[in-house]
Amino acid sequence: MSTAKDPNSKYDLSKISARVDKVNVSGLQRTHDDYVMRAAEGLFKANNFQEMMLEAMAAKAYLHELGIFKDVSVHIDISRGADATPQGYEVTLKGKEFTRIMGSAGTEIGQNEGSLRTELTIPNILGRGESISLQGSYSSTRANDLQLKFWKPFFHTRFRENRPEASFSVFRQTDRYDISSFQTTNLGYLLDFSAHTMLGVDLTHSLQYENSIRDLSLLNKSVPFGIRDHCGPKLASLVRYSLIFDNRDASVFPTRGLLLKSVNEYCGLGGNVAYTSSTAHGEVNVPLFAGLVAQFCGRVGVVRETKKTTVLPISNLFYCGGPLTLRGFKYGCAGPVIDGTPIGAQTFWCTGAHLWTPLPFAGVFKGLASHFRMHFFYNMGNSNSFSLDNMRSAYGIGLAVKLAERARIELNYCVPLQKQATDKAQNGFQFGIGYEFV
């Protein structure tokens, strides 16, 4: 009695014996062979067809990470020739290298600002992932910059899992501080080395050395003398170390996970600017029920004098207030002032508690609704004091919209609760756009 085979039955590929006899990487024009050799390591360890397929996909992803190919395809065929084995296969990775010159233009989201960005890149100039790019951005509100950057990844070495990368940049950056009526123009160079460590947790490290000329100028003639004293060019030489831990399930609307980020600077290795600066940012997300998520955020910053300090640079002080830090207050207007002009603080802290919820009837719109969230929030913080005395606070409700997987837009209705006489509160609707909120 014969039985018909179920057309929907699935094969267990792990029970099919297979081994890789040969790996070919084609499409190399400017790239050296040794830069792609590690792509084949996992393939030769495969003992069955399932492992071979998974390792082939891993090899494809690895070649994409090297930053030399526009597209990579995988072809698997039975092994042929005198050296072929009975269960042998031949894997070919076909890559299409980037063109010698690439250009792009588009918009970029910053912290409460948008900018037009253009970039011209010469990839893989020496055959092992080295690239040069010329980048420029323009914003009508705050920051403009021009940067020439050379970088080299070391993903092809035995430290592949650490993803080390080194870069050298020459830059010119202009930052406008409209609320304080001054702007800074920095001209200098930057050395950067970044890597990951995975000793129990995945940490991202960045060590930088920056040497630049900082020129502070005024935006109008009615600037207080406390700001005028900072005018003129100064030479800054500093080292910066940043550390990031992020295990959230999403960067914009996370439902679970933890983010910890710290940046520490020491300036005074040369020149006539000296200070130490430390900032830390934390975020905890806890899933509740029915799509509700509780989120708790905090940020703290401290800038201190050193033995070499004559005066702390005003551009390195902290501005508290605004839709990204302390909602219910205008940007930078929840801190110290001179003659009615905000000047920034040497220390600040702010915290936020949020209850995130999907939109009503989110199940009807499905894909579209995933880009929107509502939240109830409570913010509090202070400047130049870590006590709860004379702190600022506000609460409210708002609508947030996700922009790709990078940033979000918030439209909040804010109600300030506690404020100081010199603060500029914003009772009512407040608009914010950025990638890191409190």
CA angle 148, 151, 156 (to 5 degrees): 165
Q: What averages of pLDDT result for each successive group of 10 residues across the chain (438 residues)? A: 49 80 86 84 84 87 86 87 83 88 82 82 90 89 86 84 92 90 93 90 94 92 86 93 93 92 94 93 93 94 89 89 90 87 91 91 69 93 86 93 86 92 90 88
Q: What is the pLDDT of residue 201?
A: 86
Q: Do the domains at 13-97 and 154-434 have one common CATH topology?
A: no
Domain 154-434 has CATH 2.40.160.50: yes
Q: Report which DSSP code applies to 362.
A: H
What is the DSSP secondary-structure string of 289-350? STT-EEEEEEEEEEEE--TT-SS--GGGSB---STTSSTTB-TT-SS-EETTEE--BSEEEE
User: b vs e for 180-197, b when ≥16 Cβ sit within 10 Å of the residue's Cβ?
Assistant: bbbbbbbebebebebbee
Report the distance separating Cα 436 and Cα 414, nearest Å: 19
| Domain residue ranges in the chain | 13-97, 154-434
CA 194, 196, 197, 200 torsion-angle sign: positive
Average pLDDT across the chain, whole number: 88
Q: Regarding the domain delimited by 13-97, which CATH topology (the fold level of the hierarchy) does it fall under?
A: Ubiquitin-like (UB roll) (3.10.20)
Cross-strand pairs, 381: 350, 392
> How far is Cα 218 from Cα 315, in angstroms, rounded to an integer?
12
Pairwise CA distance, residues 35 & 69, whole Å: 12
Q: DSSP secondary structure string, 211-238?
A: EEEEEEEESSS---HHHHTT-EEEEEEE
